A = this chain, B = another copy of it.
Amino acid sequence: MSSTVAPKIVLYWLEQSKAHRILWLLEEIGLKYDLKIYKRENGLAPEELKKINGLGKAPIISVEDPSLSPEPIILSESALITEFLVSNYAPQLAPPPSDLKANLRYKFYLYYAEGGVFQPLLVHHILDMVHTASPFFIKPVVGGLLSQLKSRWLNKAYDDHLGYVERELEGKKFLLGEHFSGVDCLHSFNWQSLEKLGALNSQRYPRLMEYWNGLQQREAYKKAQEKVKGHKALL
C-alpha cells in the first residue's frame, strides 16, 4: 500500500463494456470503491461520461490518494488502470521489479489486451451488425460475402492470436506462469466475448478454455458478477 490511509476510489462502470474487468480487479485487490453504473443509449456510451474525463469511454476510475497526488487522479484505458492499481496497491499481482524478462512479459500482455485479439473480435461484431441490418432480399448474398471475409481474414486473425496464447499457456496456470496477475483480469473481456461468439472453444483451444473456466471460479470474479446483477456486463 502506498499509504496507511485507504484511497478513495470511484469506478465508472458502463454496461456491456470493458469496465467489468476493472470491477473484478478491484475485488481481487480487495480495495474499497464506489461503483457508478451507466446505461448505454442506443447502444452507445452516454454523453454524460464525457464530463468525467473528456473522452467519455468506460471504464474510468478516479483515485483520491494524498500519498500519491494532492489532486484526484482520473484515468481511462483499462490497461493503464490495471497497471496503476497493481503497482500502487497490489504489487503481488505483477512480477517482481528485478525480473526484467517477466516484467516485459507482463507489459506485453498489458498492451496486447487491446492490440491483439480484441481487434478481430470488434470486426466480428461489426460484420454481424452488417448482416443483421441487411434487408431480407440481400441477406443471403451479404451472408456469403461476410462468410468469405470471415474465412479469409477473421479466422486467420483468431488463429494467430488464440493459437499464440494457447501455446503460451503450455505448462502455465496463468498468463505469466504460476501466479495470478493483473493481466489475467485484463484479458477476461476477450475470452468471455470470444466464447460467446464460438471462436473460443475447448476443441480448438483446450488449455485456454481450461484457464478461462478456472478464472470464473475465483471468489473475486463471482463477487464482481454479483455487484452488477441485473445489468448486462459484457457484449
Residues of A that sit less than 8 Å from B by CB: 44, 54-57, 68-69, 73, 75-80, 83-84, 100-101, 104, 107-108, 110-112, 114-115, 119, 122-123, 126-127, 129-130, 133-135, 138, 141-142, 145-146, 148-149, 153, 156, 160-161, 164, 167-168
Do B149 and A108 have beta carbons less than 8 Å apart?
A: no
Besides the known contacts A111-B111, A123-B126, A126-B153, 15 further A-B residue pairs in the complex with CB atoms under 8 A apart: A77-B115, A78-B115, A79-B115, A80-B111, A111-B114, A114-B115, A126-B126, A129-B149, A129-B153, A130-B149, A133-B145, A133-B148, A134-B141, A138-B138, A142-B145
Interface of A is mostly: helix
Alpha-carbon gap, A55 to B111, bound state (A):
14
Do B111 and A73 have beta carbons less than 8 Å apart?
A: no
Alpha-carbon gap, A161 to B161, bound state (A):
26
Give A137 Cβ to nearest chain B Cβ, in Å. 8
**Residue numbers in B under 8 Å from A75 (CB-CB):** 104, 108
A44's nearest neighbour on chain B, judged by CB, is B156
